[in-house]
Structure 1
Amino acid sequence: MPPPPADVDPRSGYCAATKTFHSLRPPLLLPPPDLPLSFPSFTFSLLPATLPSRPALVDAATGEVVPFPAFLSQVRALAAALRARLGVSRGDVAFVLAPPGLHIPVLYYALMAVGAIVSPANPALTADEISGLVALSGPSVAFAVKATTGKLPPGLNTVLLDSARFLSFLHKPHDEDGTADGTDVVIHQSDPAAILYSSGTTGRAKAVVLTHRNLMASNATRGPATAEVLMLALPIFHIYGFTFCFRVAPSANTLVLHTARRFDAREVLAAVGRFGATRLALAPPTLLAIVRAAEEDETLIARAATLQAVNCGGAPMATELFRRFFHKFPDVCLQQGYGLTETTAGFCRAAGEEESGEIGSVGRLLWGAEVKIVHPETGLALPPGMPGELWVRGPFVMKGYAGDKDSTSKILDSEGWLRTGDLCYIDKDGFVFVVDRLKELIKYKGYQVPPAELESLLQTHPNIDEAAVVPYPDDEAGELPVAFIVRSSGSNLYEAQIKEFVAKQVVHYKQIHHVFFVNTIPKNAAGKILRKDLAKLALQHIRSRL
């Protein structure tokens, strides 16, 4: 990665000559791109020569641990079994349909070590939805559990992770010369390592192809070099949880996996204390649950006294949630990040207390990132402080969409610039702010209304727990902002009060026109609001009133 131009502003990272923002983070070394090297080989090479005695993996529900020597031994043994017993080879796609568990990181590493392509999916999907994903990626083998195997298409070779057969793969001896465990396989950094699926909330799902080098670049931006105890309470099939799995290496971190079927904030905080977790990875809905639990029972805060930092990403977070969190956890650093499946997770992140204190920002650009803020209509690149579509380039940007050149060319140009579809701006100090999705902006009489802005405002009301704003079609205005509200427990808040609360604080075209009270706001696994579902619900509600 070449250094940024000499005329880059040292505060914002903006180069006026190229109209490009550059990361000001210290450079991190990646291997030469033409060197044959797999992602597992890269990360394992960074482990200390003497492996630590502490666990590599911990199951938060059962307390079961996998020490570092056993973890590496299992990866090597499984890689050997994948080749010798299952015939998995370089370029094969392996579909993974399973809940979180200690075997999942081992499986991910082992598959990549032999050159196979890991393709995890949400085990809660229906058989029809899974069939569609399988058609996109074309796997030759699947890994599932007894509870999910029935959803897979018939005829797909399937290995059950909760079977004695699979467990035997973890303990079989591997050849000392490496010919069985995959170390003799020539893997290029440009080879596909993973296929993950976009959420499909704004259109049909797409299969995102990530390379070994993408994962190396993403892992190289991960932060502290000292070992931590990390607790992962996220879906491991989503890009955020998927990449977090790999944080076991290179810093020899301990990874505590939340494996319970349901998220219980009290249990998670208790597990933080029980296992001495120093960092917790959450999405905004689970962060909200943590805050609510702490507000209801302050003894939970003391039980999680080892906690030093919380990573939050996967979906936008309301500024009011920041404030509520800091009120209950003043000594914990809350670090928000921003990225896409197509960028191998986050390329922006708040690092340290100072950056985390910039409420509303998703942090600064991480190493290797170049960004342009482009006017959606004129296509001109914009300076600091001006909102536009964020375009990003770097070694973490995907290879493309599997089998879909047309969709790839629409989002990724020949110079490597990826169009995020997000309306953002970067301020004079280099902090990135996400305004909203361009496609989700509400068009009211020619004005653009960002739903996320209104949602953040609504959630500052003391009697509102959650809010979502979506458009409703109108002949005169084009679209009207309407709100779905989850009231706080015991609240009797009514529609007129909410409309008045908003009207006092926004310009006329951002006012809320209808309010619907619901028990929950529908979200996907990453915590993103399912706006299409709410828009349909709004149509039904308003038509029923007519």
Structure 2
Amino acid sequence: MAETNPKRSMDPNTGFCYQTGIYSSLNAPIPLPPTNQPLSVAEYCISLLHSTSTSGATTFVVNATTGQTLTYSQFVSQVRSLAYCLQKRYSLSQNDVAFILSPPSLHIPVLYFALMSLGIIVSPANPLGSNSEIAHQIQLSKPAIAFATSQTSHKIPSLKRGTILLDSPEFLSLLTQSNIDNNTIKPVKVNQSDLAAILYSSGTTGRVKGVMMTHRNLIAMMAAIHHSNTTEGNVSDKPPQSVTFFTVPLFHVFGFFMLLGAVLSADTVVLMERFEFEEMLRAVEKYKITDMPVSPPLVVAFVKSDLTKKYDLSSLQMLGCGGAPLGQEVARQFNEKFPNVLLVQGYGLTETTGGATRVIGPEEAARYGTVGRLSENMEAKIVDPVTGEALPPGQRGELWLRGPIVMKGYVGDEKATAETLDSEGWLKTGDICYFDSEGFVYIVDRLKELIKYKAYQVPPAELEHLLHSHPEIADAAVIPYPDEEAGQIPMAYVVRNPGSSITEAQVMDFIARQVAPYKKIRRVAFINSIPKSPAGKILRRELVNHSVSGGLSKL
């Protein structure tokens, strides 16, 4: 810390200190376990689960697609059984990486907890990823073993300890070993500084990166959830038993930390193997869903769809929106249509283990456009991208964050780590933001060039690389194009080779065959040349302006 007492000259309204240029959280710090205490995030969550008044018969997970359920006592015994078998039969050792490629199921939470309790690093990826994307992720994380399904396993190369199919009798037998108590399992000393997970993100630029998360990062995130359950939970009329429908994937940071948080809170989680809007509405009615983590496109669907009138959604109390900025108008329309549902926003990155800021309660939720205030134990700076100067409230600059939830770095990529994390532990988010006079954070724009399609990150560089590989394409640039439903869609500007008559459909099809569905190019314009700076950098802003003005201004 720059000062012995950073609170000394801190503005109590904004958390800003004029001496250091640092914003501190306005919330009191949350105590965390001593750093030198060996503790895995799995052990931390399960110990808090045991301290709740929940009975083991409470339902933990429901698969809305199949109707299967898992109680908390079944969950804990399956975690024990699987941990024992993985130790005994597969000779997995601490700090090995386990790659996971599977749609949501009851097995995923059991798998995450069993692996992390043994100090094995969990690395889940999108089961819809293309073969080349999966190959790149495996190259980054270097897993010893993989867990997949009979549908996804063909995408995984042969690994040292092989691939276990989650839908096989072999795997099911690993969950039901009887006579296992804590003494049967060889104790593993997991340090909080050890890696717990490698999640995939595009970072602030370029290709997909593997974000290294420590047990400490996740424990700090879980401590914040536990704190809000025990304090904020008493303020609102939150029922003791929350039923949360997961619309966000379990391999994405949002779903990942929400799943861990559900365990320590003893909530019931409802999953769906393949998301479908009307099926989700049916599940809200059937399971009396109270909470949902959502991305902005889903809020738009709630606002626009008449299907919402067909179902009884009266159990819904709160939607937590993240993954991309939510338009003020959409938030307003949602509140008009669903006055009894609290819609709150938060902000975070894979690199910050999820939530770095959040909105708390109805009063803050009524401030449209903000992603809330800094979470407990967090510090921030707003840095002028040109001068590097730390800016006071009301001024826009790049948001830098520091705190116990900031990642360890990018796996196998020291250069990207050094560009994103400085020597003092500040994470450069690549987002242009400002703090208002009451310490609320607003996201204005992105320094980074990522396209946010729904809550997914699409790096233009990756798509441009593929476009350049087409024999009929001379040059190409990919930009975000505004879309009400998805937030942004990838749009390509393409320069044809002389004599080529390649069509929009052919360009889109060429990319669609090589990438996951969310990365598809959904709009194409042909152009004579791509505008570039003298150094050869694509002038994306010109293309964005051109696309939005309907191409009337000639480039």
TM-score class normalised by the smaller sequence: 0.7 to 0.9
Matches within 5 A, 1:459-470: none
The 1:410–1:202 alpha-carbon spacing in structure 2 relative to 1, beyond 3 Å, is: closer
Contact 2:146–2:159 under 8 Å retained in 1: no
2:390 pairs with 381, 388, 392, which one? 381
* Structure 2 residue 113 is matched with structure 1 residue 109: yes
Aligned partners of 1:17, 1:312: CA distance in 2, in Å? 34
Cα distance in 1, alignment partners of residues 85 and 131 from structure 2: 28
Quote how far apart the aligned CAs of 1:439 are: 3.1
1:345 aligns with 2:354: yes
Corresponding residue to 2:373 among 364, 387, 391: 364
How many angstroms does 1:529 deviate by? 8.7
In the TM superposition, what is the alpha-carbon distance from 1:321 to its structure 2 partner?
A: 1.6
| CA deviations over 1:262-284 (Å, ceiling 9, x no partner) | x3222212211211211011111
TM-score by length of 1: 0.80
How many matched pairs?
471
Matching of residue 224 in structure 1 with residue 213 in structure 2? no
Q: Is the 8 A contact 1:266 1:290 kept in 2?
A: no
Counterpart of 2:381 in 1: which secondary structure? strand
Partner of 1:255: 269
Distance 1:483 1:136 in 2: 30
**How big is each residue's C-alpha offset from its partner over 1:221-252, in whole Å with a ceiling of 9 and x where there is no partner?**
22323542111111111111111111222221
Query: Residue 23 of structure 1: CA displacement?
Result: 0.8
Q: Cα distance, 1:173 vs. partner?
A: 2.6
Instruction: Specify the alignment match of 2:76 in structure 1.
Output: 72
Q: Report Cα offsets for 1:174-207 as digits up to 9, x if no partner.
A: 5434342x5x101100000000111379411111
Distance of 1:153 and 1:403 partners within structure 2: 19
Give the alignment partner of residue 29 of structure 2, picking from 27, 30, 48: 27
Residues 1:274 and 2:303 aligned together: no
- Counterpart position of 2:175: 170
Structure 1 residue 74: Cα displacement: 0.9
Distance in 2 between residues matched to 1:46 and 1:332, nearest whole Å: 28
| Kept after mapping to 2: 8 A contact 1:373/1:382 | yes
Paired with 1:192 and 1:268, the residues of 2 have a C-alpha distance of: 34
Residues 1:236 and 2:237 aligned together? no
CA distance in 2, matches of 1:288, 1:247: 26
CA contact 1:273–1:304 (8 Å) conserved in 2: yes
Per the TM alignment, residue 483 of structure 1 is displaced from its structure 2 partner at its CA by 5.4
Cross-structure match for 2:295: 283
TM-score (norm 2): 0.78
Shift of residue 435, structure 1, vs aligned partner: 0.6
Could you tell me whether the CA contact under 8 Å between 1:74 and 1:171 is conserved in 2? yes
Q: How many angstroms apart in 1 are the aligned matches of 2:401 and 2:344?
A: 21
Rate the CA distance shift 1:487–1:159 in 2: closer, same or farther, 3 A: closer
| 1: CA distance, partners of 2:480 / 2:94 | 51
Which residue pairs with 1:499 in the alignment?
none
- 2:235 aligned residue: none
Match of 1:424, SS state, is strand
CA distance in 1, matches of 2:29, 2:480: 46
Written as runs of structure 1 = structure 2, the 5 A alignment for 1:374-523 is 374-440=383-449
Q: Which shifted more, 235-244 or 387-396? A: 235-244
Q: Deviations over 1:279-327 (max 9, x none)?
A: 011111222223222xx24524x61111100011111222222122112
Contact 2:204 2:420 (C-alpha < 8 Å) held by counterparts: no
Of residues 17, 40, 48 in structure 1, which corresponds to 2:19? 17
**Is the CA contact (8 Å cut-off) linking 1:44 and 1:250 kept in structure 2?**
yes
How far residue 258 of structure 1 moved from its aligned partner, in angstroms, is 2.4
SS in structure 2 at match of 1:143: strand
Question: Which residue in 2 is equivalent to 1:510?
Answer: none
Alpha carbons 1:314, 1:528 under 8 Å: kept:
no
Match of 2:314 among 289, 297, 305: 305
Question: Cα distance, 1:405 vs. partner?
Answer: 1.2
Tell me how far apart the structure 1 counterparts of residues 392 and 131 of structure 2 sit (CA, whole Å).
48
The one-letter code of the counterpart of 2:29 is: P
Change (3 A) 1:201 1:188: closer
Distance 1:361 1:177, change over 3 A: closer
Percentage of identical aligned residues: 45
CA distance in 2, matches of 1:332, 1:399: 37
Which one is further off, 355-364 or 21-30?
21-30
Residue identity in the other structure for 1:141: I
Unaligned runs of 5+ in 2: 231-239, 461-476, 487-503, 529-546
Shift of 1:413: 1.0
Structure 1 pair 343/486, CA: closer, same or farther in 2 (3 Å)? closer
Mapped partners of 2:525, 2:202: distance in 1? 20
Residue deviations 1:131-155 (CA, integer Å, cap 9, x gap): 1110000000000000000011134
Name which of 138, 143, 147 aligns with 2:142.
Answer: 138
How far residue 28 of structure 1 moved from its aligned partner, in angstroms, is 1.9
Between the aligned partners of 2:259 and 2:27, the Cα distance in structure 1 is 24
Q: 2:222 aligned with 1:213, yes or no?
A: no
Query: Residue type matched to 2:171 in 1?
Result: F
Q: What are the Cα deviations for residues 354-389 of structure 1, in whole angstroms up to 9, with x where unaligned?
A: 111111111111111100000000000000010000
Q: Which amino acid aligns with 2:373?
A: R
